[in-house]
Structure 1
């Protein structure tokens, strides 16, 4: 299980540097807390995924993601070109590896696309993508985004 915590500042979500502390990807159970992560005391509130409520207030949201197999034609495209034309995906390779920003031996984990203010939740990657990586032993994560 991976928990992604993103900072929020001026409508930008998380950081562009995988180790600046603006984005923390925690792997549980048994994972390591990255050295740059700031963890507050139990019971305190911190970073949260959110959307705008009816009066334009920030309303925290949580989502559980259920995965399903990729359709055969998409799998074929991935095998042929090494990437897929999809916004959010798990595994494989980053669609824009030159932007991914985390070098080997870290392993690509998933990609998220930014969202708009009127969607179920808000992620602003400046019209770009967010990339998650796992350490070689899969006990520590990194996340960063890159603008389009």
Structure 2
């Protein structure tokens, strides 16, 4: 039962991640004419989702840890699930708040100011980091789902 729950929570995390990253976020920036409003809307969505991700990562880790005690999941796989908890925490408590703060400061400045350009470079750095880490996270989640499916198949044999 715990293996099925683990698959459910991994898929429950991965599906909205893909939907938000590849459908919702691009649609926001394509359809909202004001870049400031689009950025604010995007960050509201991501910040809320980051909280859900952190909760899901903790549930997944607890399930995986429990399964490792039963020797169903090998202990080295706990590294993947630990990394997902740290990943979610980094997004929730550092990366998203940093981008939000930079945007708040940036939108208070004139676009021609030197400080605006400095903050824009910092924003681009964090945004690129966010995008790369999102892609890696989806890959980690996919690896987790595949690994847990294989464990489930082994149990059924």
Shorter-chain TM band: under 0.3
Higher helix proportion: 2
Q: TM-score, normalised by structure 1?
A: 0.24
Q: TM-score, normalised by structure 2?
A: 0.23
Higher strand proportion: 1
Q: Which has the larger radius of gyration?
A: 2
Q: Which has the higher contact order (CA 8 A, sep 6+)?
A: 2
